[in-house]
Structures are given as structure tokens and as C-alpha cells.
Structure 1
Amino acid sequence: MTHEQLYGVAPEGTWTAPGRVNLIGEHTDYNDGFVMPLALPHSTTATVSRRADGLVRVHSREIAGPPVDIDTATLAPGSVGGWAVYPAGVLWALREAGHEVGGADIHYTSDVPVGAGLSSSAALEVVTALALSDLYDLGLSREEISRIGQRAENGYVGAPTGILDQMASACCTEGHALHLDTRDMAQRQIPFDLAAEGLRLLVVDTQVKHAHADGAYGKRRASCEAGAAALGVPALRDVPFGELEAALARLSDEEIRRRVKHVVTENHRVERVTALLDAGRVREIGPLLFEGHASLRDDFEVSCPELDLVVEASAAAGALGARMTGGGFGGSAVVLVEEDAAEVTGKAVSDAFAAAGHTAPRIFTAIPSPGARRLPVR
């Protein structure tokens, strides 16, 4: 169904925002650390037209049912549920930030897998904020759009996430991975042309759904904050890698020690991957992917049997590196392979899942793609 068929008016424009995979740097963003995501070709697209009555109506092609009405005058956390909680959260966050936004009719289409750890919610938030910023001349920067999306996620949806996902969707560029310092938002676009190197980055969606709004994610963040407080630093970003052992010796709680160890070593891994990519030594990042997965599995405890199986089967098939990506507890993994070994590796993973009795995984190639943007009129 088209926008005009839904709402009786032609859209004033079309905007799109991608999902993402994170190459390295997991659970570091809410610790003021470093991350390195890249945008996927999978995206959420919105056609939008303004309304004069202040009402916002949202509709998704992927979800059955009529448009959901959002009354911006009475908008508060908990007043909208289901999938529409994300655009409602953006509207609430815009209002909380003092931005005047009128009514709108919005029709979404998306091919970002939901619940796969590929930032489907961030893509929805970013495309909504970008479209409304353009239509209502808010003049929001990409960082401001990302912060609106994060505020929606934290304050309206109730998921205590960092800003990685929104910044990736808003700021990534084609053919590059984004090195982001989540403390000062400094960005570097790092060339990441795997095809030119004879390599591929596979994304393996385990089909195990995850949800950031549940308690496990929040507990990890609370442990990190407790660790930073015990060490007397503003955030775990401020614990130097070279002083990690001394810092761990000061912590009495074994669980907090493991959480701190992961964050500090993960920040160091991002810097090591950056140096290798800068030097053109792309294949050498593979062991750091394996190392990162082991840290997420053992120290941060956010993996699951299906994610571990992807990594184990990929390693046995000769992959250069593999790790879970995203918040964990399900979702997806990334696998770095030689291009001519991609099919064999994918089959090895699928065969391992079948042998274990798991649902067949969805496997595709990650191609570094453009970030959020307004699409030209056709």
C-alpha cells in the first residue's frame, strides 16, 4: 500500500536510514569508549507528509493493521505501545528537547531484520527524526538526531542503550567503517573495502530474538557504572589498558571485575583494529574478532549457544575471525572470511545449526553502505 492510498495525500518526501553491524567495540558506548560500526544496505524508509491538526499517524508495511494515531499533546512514556513506541519516543524526545513539531502522516517500509541485533529500532528512530527535522526546519545535526533517538530509546522505550546504534545509522558512509569516540563524538571514516582485498564480512542472523529493554542489559550497564565508581573514574573509558591488572586488583566483586576487564580490553581492541586497518593489514584483524567474542562470552556474559556455535563453526571452517555483534543475548554474529571461502563457511555454519537442532540461520554479506539521508524525487 502506498502513502497516498493510506492517507489520501501524496508524500512530501522520502527518507531512509540503515541498520548496522558493529565490527568491534561492544558495550563500550555507554562507558564513553570507542566503537567501530558500519552501515548495512538494509534500511528503514519513511514517506512523510505534514498534517495541520497536530496528530501523527504512523503505519508500517511489515506489520498488519491500520495506522497508529499518536496524539502529541498527551504523549508520555507508556502512552503508546507495540512497534509505534519508537516513532512515539522520537516525537516525545523532540518535544522534551524543545523542538516544535506539528502533525504528520508517516508510512514506513523496512528490510532490516527485527530482533537480530542489527539496529532495526535505531534505523526507525533516526529516519523519523531526520524526516521531521527536514519537514519542520529544525536544522538538527546528525549528532543531535542520534541523541534524540537515544533519548527515545532510554526515556520512552525504557532500554538503557548507548549511542552507538543511532550514530551508526545517522553517520556511516559508503565503503567505510566509522571509528567513533562516544565521549566527544569525534569521528573518523576508515576505508573498509573488503572486496578489493579479496575478503568478505558475513553477517549470521541466528534467528534468536533479543530485547534490550529487558533486565539483563541494564544489569551489565549498572555493573560497569559500579566498577567506574569503585575505581574513582568518570567512566571505564578512563581506565588505561596498561593499568588494567592494578585496577582489577582493587575490585572485590568478581562479577564487576569481569565486566570491567571486558570494557577496558574491548576499547584496546578497537584501537588495535584501527591501527591495522590504517596500515592496510586487514586480514590481521581476524584474531581480534575471535578475542572480542571470547571476552563477550566469558567476561561480559552476553553471548548464547547459537552465537558461540557460529564462531566455533566458522573457526573450524577456516574463517579469519568471528564474533557476536550487537548487545547480545541472541541476534547476529560477523564472520571475516576469504572471498572464495564464503560459501563453504556459510554452509559449515548452517550444517552446524542443523546438527544442533537450531533454527536455520540467515546469512548475508555486509556491504558498508551510506548512512541516513533524504532520497531524491523519482
Structure 2
Amino acid sequence: MPEFADAIVFSSVNEVSHQTVELPPCGPDEIVCETLYTFVSPGTELRVLGGQYSKPKDFPLVPGYSAVARVLEVGTEVSGIRVGDLVSGRNPKAVAGVGAMWGGQASRHVYATRGEDRIVLLPKEADPLDYVVAEVAAISHRGIDAARPRAEETAVVIGQGMIGTFSAAWLLNHGCRVIVCDVDAGRLEKARSRGVAEAVNMMDEDAMGRLEFLLNGGADIVVESSGTSAGIQAAYRLLRKKPQAYGDDYKVEPIGFYGDDWPRLVVQANYIDEVSINPFSFFSGEGVTVLTPSDRGVEDRQKVVEAIRSGHLSGRDFVDLVLPYKEAASGYRKLLEREVSSVAFSWQSEKK
């Protein structure tokens, strides 16, 4: 007998609807799961909805990739996973008759148990809502992990969408002095409440001067997560330079320069517009380590699950609004209009 699921569907550009979809059969090394919560990845899903990451031929499609689910059925060759386990899932097996980018916003899924798309087990007795952010948070974690932050280093995060928000959180966990910037006052206020050293509104006339004064010569790490050309241009100005790049009036050389380490630029965004730079003027001071992490691996996802389990990250603190999945259109509208920064959908409310 075929199995069916409810799904949030982008039926065309800027149109959100619902559709019943038929699940693919469960293969021998796959599992069937019922969804408890999904989390919207705003940057990706809103660009898909708006047509920047999609073309007319791609619609209708099921968006999303971040879900917490309960295992209902295991394939005949599955080992180590049991019915009833809670899992964090990313890209599920595609369904027929509708596209996927990346198919996560649905009430049931067939997931792989092998390869990079496999599920990650959650701790027993886990609060599903606390872990619904894990897949998105793992993207930021990968970039920050690559930068190898050290306690007492100064870091700037440009942009306070979800990737930038989680980037700031991971840097704070490493003991860094974290400064964030954005153009949205509400996002900046949330960043302050989470413990950043300073939050600068880039709409202020003296924003760059304020940042440069706070940095006293530049940041050890800059995370560019705004996805804008202006963000990239700001990033190069904010990176610390070698002593000779400061000018004649800078007299006290930071002791860290003698450690033979370069400042790090972490590019944690996708860019719709092309960004052009002159390397010799962009990387003033003779060198910058540029990191361009993409996606996240199983090990990144597991590290985030452990961070939530151990109390180093409270996932539910990053969920502004929880809505029944049938109110998805309202949730995406609130994100577009910046009434909220993050939305999770509940898929079990009608059964309670």
C-alpha cells in the first residue's frame, strides 16, 4: 500500500500552498520517519520562494532541509537504528510529482542511513524543538570550526540572519570577543541579549568608523554572512593588518602578530550578484586566510547535536515562532517582512 504525506509546497514564485504527496518506497538501507518539527532556513528558502535560487520549471517544489523526526519503520538491511528513535534529518528521498529544494518540509520522509544524507541520531529523551535548529546551525559551525578561533580573539560577524546568528553563538562559545553588525535593529537587539560585545547598525552614518574604533586595528576573524557586495567590502576593511599596514602613527604592535598567523575571513553566504576585488588592495597587509565552507558533513551535524545535548547551545532560544504547518504561508510572510527572524513548523499539533 502506498504511503502519503502532507507537504508545504511552493507552487510558484512567492506562492505557498499545501499538497498531499506519495512517499517513495522504503529501501533496504532506508527508514521512514514522521516529522515532529521543521525549521525554516530563511536565507535559502526565501530565495527559493522568490525565484532567485529557482526557475519557473522547478515549481511546484517542496522546500527545506532541517527536520526532527521519529522513526516509524526501518529497512531490512538497517542496523543500529530502532523504531521510536529521534533523528535529525537533512535531504530526504525525493517524492514523485513535485520538485524538491530540498524536500524537508513534509509530515513524513524516507531517509537514507548511509552516506552524507544519512540521519543523525538524537539523544534519548531529547526535546525535539531544542534540536530542530541543528541542520542550519551545523552550517555555521563548520565555518567557525575551520577558522580555529581562540579565546580572547576579536571576531566580527557581518549579517545577523540565521547563519550569522549561529556564527556569533559559536564564536562566543570559544571565548571570543564578538561584534556583530546588521541593518535590522531587532536582530541587533537579539544579538545583544545573547551576549555579544557590541552590535552596530550599518544604517548609521558612522557605522564603519564605529567598527574600526571598536576593533583597534582590525579583527582576527571576520565572518561575512550578509550575502551582499557591501558586506564583502566591509569585511576586508575590518580584518586586522600587519603592523606596517597601520600607518606611521601606530606605535604599539599587537603581540599576536609575532605568532605567524593570518587573520581569517569566513565567507558564510551565497551571492546573487558577482563580487569583484583587486587582491592586492583587498588583502592589505600581505595575507589573509580565506575560508569558504559549504554545506555541512555528518561530523559537523553530530558536533552540533552534542553541543545542544551538553548545554553549550540552547536550540529553542533561536526559534522565534512555532506555527502549525498549515500556517506556513503566514510563517514565510512574517520572515519576508522581518516580523520574526526564525520560524519552526509543528507537524503533530493536530494529533494532540
Normalised by the length of structure 2, the TM-score is 0.22
> Higher relative contact order by CA 8 Å / sep ≥ 6: 1 or 2?
1
Q: Which has the higher helix share?
A: 1
